[in-house]
Amino acid sequence: MRIVGSDLTGEVLELRAEGDARALLAGIDAVFAAPAMLVAEGGIEVPRLFVSDMDSTMIGQECIDELADYAGIKPQIAAITERAMQGELDFEAALRERVALLAGLDESAIHACLAERIVATPGARTLVATLAALGARNVLVTGGFHHFADPVAEMLGFHRVVGNRLAVEEGKLTGGLIGAITDSAVKAAVLRGELAELGGDAHSLATGDGANDIPMIEAATYGFAYKAKPKARAAANGRVDSDDLTAVLMLLGIPREQWREA
């Protein structure tokens, strides 16, 4: 196994060891806490596919929690979100419960929330733009909503968006959803489907933070947990515990002169 880590100065260190990737990461954690690490079999290559979660990964917020603030019920909804992301609740049931609580909220609150609350994670633009410049296909797949994901994807430079759709009638949220739910199984299926289109030897990268990202993280060649909940962190062979997502580029061995801005 190849172990690559970065320290607080951004210096990249490399080791080689035998064993399971997750066990090696756990062992390293017991000795010292590196801000970012990746354990991979063989050489590390630039991925041809990047699939990422949105909330608390590509952006620094949970959109449904911020939207709930406009309805005056953020603490109530945020508590459910946290339990769902920890893997304590069924994702779909928790999603439908939270959306139902938003019934009657004016659709204009979404536009205000996007403008006033939603901010890209440090390094997100550079990560997406650099991978795209190097030939990767970038897919944003979220258990959140197209109302948010579509403009976020455009802002960051993703090629495709997969997510859930809020039902709106006469300018107000109905408290329901349209169509099938994008959950953990769909996230992993999107990664596998995109990878099949590229060819079986293509390497893939996934980033996420919550329990519903685990199957996607596990399915990727390089599955990164970004400032993640414990279950997602334990499932990953890559970790970024610092704020800046450009740590992923460093661990993939992509030199700074090749980095791009969106």
Tokens of 237: 């062979």
Count of residues making up the chain:
262
Query: Nearest 5°: phi and psi at 63?
Result: -60, -40
Residue 132: CA count within 13 A, CB half-sphere = 17
Catalytic residue among 7, 20, 29, 53: 53
Beta bridge partner(s), residue 92: none
User: By CB neighbour count within 10 A (0-12 exposed, 13-18 middle, 19+ buried), where does 1 fall?
Assistant: middle
Active-site residue among 7, 20, 55, 106?
55
Whether residue 240 contacts residue 258, with contact meaning beta carbons closer than 8 Å, is answered with no
Identify the CA nearest to 55 among candidates 91, 79, 85: 85
Asked if 53 is an active-site residue, the reply is yes
Under 8 Å CB-to-CB from 2, ≥6 apart: which residues? 14, 15, 16, 39, 40, 41, 42, 43, 44
Active-site annotation, residues: 53, 55
